[in-house]
């Protein structure tokens, strides 16, 4: 698991590493901050994947699933080894930080959320948490419950992203207590990206251990 400080990422020369569709996407984003964050996250992702796969960052080809999940076109194509095990990754960014999960144990999903004020915390919890999740506390409408709400929210998104579904499922049916989605079980755990943030990662198989690094 990589924690990426987007404000510390050097963009110098990085624009050339991006594909034409990534550059076009950056241009479509509203606001210089959003554009810089997207670019920095993709430049960092390419540099990271390049280290693992021994392929130049600009040469990494990405394709997208039905709901937009990016994946490597030739997942095991490190060093020309056609029989290398597939390589999986997923990326999430929020409030100047990003998380990038990488591995070879199967599909992976990651989410980071800045813990921020919510206009309607009570209705959000009622509509999007499962009955078991709601029962974890009785004060969802209060400020005190906010970190827990975002912790559960990050777990939901990590599960949905591992399955490549994005927010295409009713969130109250995503079971973050058992780590189940559409009858399938996932390994799911919390990640602590830093003060004021919540995070989670889900993977098709339980890793023997999860190592954490910082980028750059």
Ligand X SMILES: CC(C)(COP(=O)(O)OP(=O)(O)OC[C@H]1O[C@@H](n2cnc3c(N)ncnc32)[C@H](O)[C@@H]1OP(=O)(O)O)[C@@H](O)C(=O)NCCC(=O)NCCS
Helices 32-53, 20-28: crossing angle, 10 deg rounding:
160
Token pair of 22, please? Answer: 């990534």
Per DSSP, 210 falls in state -
Cβ proximity to ligand X: between 55 and 159 the closer is: 159
Cβ proximity to ligand X: between 90 and 130 the closer is: 90
* Integer angstrom CA distances of residue 77 from 22, 29, 52, 104: 21, 31, 10, 13
Token pair of 18, please? Answer: 């991006």
Cβ proximity to ligand X: between 125 and 202 the closer is: 202
Return the residue nearest ligand X (CB atom).
166
Token pair of 28, please? Answer: 């479509």
Helices (H) and strands (E) in the chain, counts: 5, 11
Cβ proximity to ligand X: between 134 and 169 the closer is: 169
Nearest approach, Cβ of residue 80 and ligand X (Å): 26
Nearest approach, Cβ of residue 123 and ligand X (Å): 19
Nearest approach, Cβ of residue 99 and ligand X (Å): 8
What are the residues binding ligand X (CB under 6 A)?
38, 41-42, 67-70, 90-93, 109, 111, 157, 161, 164, 166-168
């Amino acid at each position: 698991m990589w924690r990426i400080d987007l404000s510390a990422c050097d963009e110098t020369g990085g624009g050339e590493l991006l594909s034409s569709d990534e550059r076009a996407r950056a241009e479509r984003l509203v606001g210089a901050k959003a554009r810089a964050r997207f670019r920095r996250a993709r430049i960092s992702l390419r540099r990271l994947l390049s280290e693992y796969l021994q392929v130049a960052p600009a040469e990494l080809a990405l394709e997208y699933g039905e709901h937009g999940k990016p994946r490597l076109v030739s997942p095991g194509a490190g060093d020309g080894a056609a029989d290398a095990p597939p390589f999986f990754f997923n990326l999430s960014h929020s409030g100047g930080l990003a998380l990038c999960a990488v591995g070879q144990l199967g599909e992976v999903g990651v989410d980071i959320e800045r813990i921020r004020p919510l206009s309607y915390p009570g209705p959000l919890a009622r509509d999007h948490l499962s009955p078991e999740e709601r029962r974890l506390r009785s004060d969802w409408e209060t400020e005190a419950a906010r970190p827990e709400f975002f912790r559960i929210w990050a777990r939901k998104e990590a599960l949905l992203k591992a399955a490549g579904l994005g927010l295409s499922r009713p969130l109250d049916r995503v079971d973050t207590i058992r780590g189940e989605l559409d009858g399938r079980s996932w390994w799911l755990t919390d990640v602590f990206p830093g003060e004021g943030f919540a995070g989670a990662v889900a993977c098709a198989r339980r890793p023997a251990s999860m190592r954490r690094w910082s980028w750059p």
